[in-house]
Amino acid sequence: MRGMAKIVTLVSPLDGFELPAYHAAPADARRGGLVLIQEIFGVTDHIRAVADSYADEGYEVIAPSLFERHQRDFQAGYDADGMARGRELSEQTPWAEVAADLSAAVAALQPPVFVVGFCWGGTAAWLAAARVAGVAAASCYYGRRIPELIDEPPQCPAILHFGRHDASIPPEVVDAIADQYPDLPVYRYDAGHGFASDRADHHPDAARLARLRTLQLFALNGGGRGEM
């Protein structure tokens, strides 16, 4: 059960840019705040549904629209054109800009604040864990570009999720992350890329297990049931 969902406005400390974010609040006692980071397709109906599902778990969720500077109200389909445009926008969005916008999202929530991200957002979740103050824990799903940030260690507890059959993230990339951070839980699932999405690669068992691990991470780092 969740409370009302709405669009809120965040102000980036980088340049004062105002970006919209989907906000979903729990109807019952709150476990914590959660910044949910989009895939390359934008804050889609699927991302909103994921936000709603975490609100059902007791989290106050903000899902910022992180490509807003480059294309207003961006939402792409899963076809070749949508994927190409999403990749283009992700490459046009520098990590410093993403970190600043995520810091605005974290600051908009009462602690503890957690982060979860998918695909491009999985790398952005790593970025938040490394650079953004106030993040209590982060769960990073199939972050293909984490190697770009490999020398920036998470400053909070974090877990990583990868599919063993993900053609876009070779096993040696996952091995390199695990080797550099041997104490960091790196989970590998019998699934492909996007196994927690609503696309063709969706793998219910892998998605369910990864979510349970994510919720456990949050619970162990302050995400207990609090007051309304």
Q: Which of 23, 46, 161, 193 is catalytic?
A: 193
Phi, psi (degrees; rounded to nearest 5) at 87: -65, -40
**67 CA to centre of own chain:** 14
Q: How far apart are CA 191 and CA 168, in angstroms?
A: 12
Q: Which of 23, 140, 166, 203 is catalytic?
A: 166
With a CB cutoff of 8 Å and minimum separation 6, the contacts of 73 are 20, 65
Q: How many residues does the chain have?
A: 228
Surface-to-core class of residue 20, CB atoms within 10 Å of its CB (0-12 exposed, 13-18 middle, 19+ buried): middle
Angle at 139 between CA 136 and CA 141, to 5 degrees: 160
Q: How far apart are CA 129 and CA 140, in angstroms?
A: 10
* Token pair belonging to 226: 């609090």
Told to judge if 198 belongs to the known catalytic residues of this protein, a careful annotator would answer no
Q: Which of 101, 119, 140, 203 is catalytic?
A: 119
* Token pair belonging to 83: 């994927």
Q: Which residues are catalytic?
A: 119, 166, 193
